[in-house]
Amino acid sequence: MNENDIREKVQRLLKGKVEQYTITRGVNQEYYCSVPQKEASHAIAILARDEFELTCLFCVQNFKETGLSMIHVFEKKNYAQFLILEYTISHRSPKEAESIALLFPSANWYEREITDGFGIRFPKSFDQRRLFLHESYPEEFHPLLKSFRNKKDAAKPSKKRKLQPYPFKPVEGEGVYQIGVGPVHAGIIEPGHFRFSVIGETIANLEIRMFYKHRGIEKFAEGKKPEECVALAEAISGDESIANAVGFCNAVERISGLSVPQRAICLRTIFMELERMYALLGDLAGMVIDVAYPVGASPFFMLREEIFRKNETMTGSRFLRQIICIGGVTKDVAQESLHDLMQCTKIWSEQLKDAVSAVKSLPSVTDRFESTGIIRKTLVRPLHLTGPIAKASGMFRDTRVEHPYGMYTHLPIARKILEKGDVMARFETKAVEILDSAQLIQRILMEIKSSEIKTERSIKDGCALSVVEAVRGQNMHWIQIKDGKVERYKIRTASFCNWLAIEHAVMGNIVPDFPLINKSLNLSYAGTDL
């Protein structure tokens, strides 16, 4: 447990350097530090020097006062709480803010996201291209402003307008050629565009372009009742349904001061770990398939299908959908079913160990896995990489340990990290995670007692931050409720940050290794594009 107090730390840092600031406590594990716009960049620079890490940056309209508020969520090693630094851009001044992307490289995508959503410009930023609004969206269209009423066809592309192609960063030189891949790919996978610049067979540069699946989830949530948004949270990313539903409900429960019954917390944790198991089994299978060894992938696929079926017998849904609700879970799981789960997890673990060692004993597999797609440890904090990817690159990142919630305050999580950062390290890390999840489930099954499964209470107004460890790392939810309706719902999945790592991982590798590297990360497109 991290007992350090982030409030004291920030007060010590800002004292005498920043004139006006106020720090107030939030309802979950966050502190809000409010500063005037003119002092914001100075305060942020101080935090950057002290190795604070940018968890997320987003904008909220009419947060505390009228106007657009920039919300910076920071975390720091060995501190469990988050610091939310916010300032409001006065509605009298131009809609501009200072870019912080040189201090925090991960901020660039956030800033471009804010420009698209709210029309705030970052005049000094090194990259001011549009992000989630592609060519066919009209100019000066900013869907997250309150003045924009969400409706179908509000942004329907006009046929007359001539579209300017997206300006990819040019890479030039003798023998450099481009390979464009996507958005439609050869397999059954989600859409995204990869622009390779290649010399011979070696990748000299990769630029990714995402957001083909932008569905407008954040805007869609606005004005809805929180109960209605649980299904929306489940739809953020198919194999993170439980993690996002729990993340959303945690925030709403904290705002309303609602305590969840113990049995419901246990069941939620079991579901979260089952989700981790089936999703990561798919990653292992995918990596083995991508080195053309389908026989080795079959055991992983078979285990995965067994988990899907177990999910269905327990909850009625293979993806564990419609089981989480605000205040608990929608239905109880039969005791025999839980008893059976105990046996299953033991058998699955043994089968998994066999399958992993069978794959690792083959030189034709290890030759492709080792030294391929290296992600260096130095990238982890600047890009805010989390989850198995960070653990495979020599840094222990796990929200369940760093910012514990629910049962994770006392459950022991495996602390294994690997140093190499290549595909093999990610394969091994993911295998360890699955085994660890199986053990966690067994431990919870020993603790679980019968009790109520849901607390009913009316929902209050307010805002809260909630983070969960999803399959791919840290997912962040920030929710503001006003008059019983969702006023703003910001989601930042682990994939959003982790995607940028792939541009570094492929450097110096050959193009045919790209699918393998991509699979070893297996990030969510839907969860990034929202």
Residues that bind other proteins (CB under 8 A): 132, 134, 136-137, 143, 148, 150-157, 183-184, 186-191, 211-217, 219-220, 231-232, 234-239, 241, 282, 285, 298, 301-302, 304-306, 308-309, 312, 318-319, 321, 524-526, 529
Contact between 405 and 413 under an 8 Å Cβ cutoff? The reply is: no
Of 23 and 530, nearer to other proteins (C-beta) is 530
Angstrom distance (rounded) from CA 435 to CA 399: 18
Nearest approach, Cβ of residue 474 and other proteins (Å): 19
Of 229 and 501, nearer to other proteins (C-beta) is 229
Nearest approach, Cβ of residue 49 and other proteins (Å): 39
Of 1 and 186, nearer to other proteins (C-beta) is 186
Nearest approach, Cβ of residue 302 and other proteins (Å): 5
Q: CA 354 → CA 271, 296, 300, 360, 520, distances in Å? A: 25, 11, 10, 10, 20
Nearest approach, Cβ of residue 524 and other proteins (Å): 6
Nearest approach, Cβ of residue 498 and other proteins (Å): 15
Nearest approach, Cβ of residue 422 and other proteins (Å): 25
Which of 131, 132, 117, 110 has its CA nearest to residue 61? 117
Neighbour tally for 31: CB within 10 Å: 19
Of 238 and 382, nearer to other proteins (C-beta) is 238
Nearest approach, Cβ of residue 53 and other proteins (Å): 28
Quick one: which H or E segment has residue 439?
helix 423-447
Of 1 and 188, nearer to other proteins (C-beta) is 188
Cross-strand partners of 510: 202
Q: Which residues contact residue 439 at a Cβ distance below 8 angstroms, ignoring those fewer than 6 apart?
A: 345, 349
How far, in whole angstroms, is CA 203 from its chain's centroid? 27
Nearest approach, Cβ of residue 385 and other proteins (Å): 21
Q: Strands 473-482 and 193-199: what pairing?
A: unpaired
Of 288 and 465, nearer to other proteins (C-beta) is 288
Contact between 95 and 119 under an 8 Å Cβ cutoff? The reply is: yes
Q: CA 73 → CA 10, 79, 384, distances in Å? A: 13, 13, 12
Of 109 and 319, nearer to other proteins (C-beta) is 319
Whole-number CA gyration radius for the chain: 23
Of 421 and 527, nearer to other proteins (C-beta) is 527
Contact between 435 and 345 under an 8 Å Cβ cutoff? The reply is: no
DSSP state of 123: T
Nearest approach, Cβ of residue 159 and other proteins (Å): 12
Nearest approach, Cβ of residue 297 and other proteins (Å): 9
Of 235 and 358, nearer to other proteins (C-beta) is 235
Residue 359 in tokens: 């794959």
Of 26 and 527, nearer to other proteins (C-beta) is 527
Quick one: which H or E segment has residue 349?
helix 335-360
Residue 58 in tokens: 């987003």
How far the first Cα of the chain sits from its last, in Å, is 33
Angstrom distance (rounded) from CA 132 to CA 209: 9
Neighbour tally for 80: CB within 10 Å: 19
Of 285 and 500, nearer to other proteins (C-beta) is 285
Angstrom distance (rounded) from CA 412 to CA 401: 9
Nearest approach, Cβ of residue 275 and other proteins (Å): 12
Angstrom distance (rounded) from CA 36 to CA 427: 47
Nearest approach, Cβ of residue 291 and other proteins (Å): 17
Residue 524 in tokens: 């969510």
Of 188 and 446, nearer to other proteins (C-beta) is 188
Q: CA 10 → CA 94, 276, 313, 402, 431, distances in Å? A: 29, 35, 49, 18, 39
Q: What are phi and psi of 24, to 5 degrees?
A: -125, 155
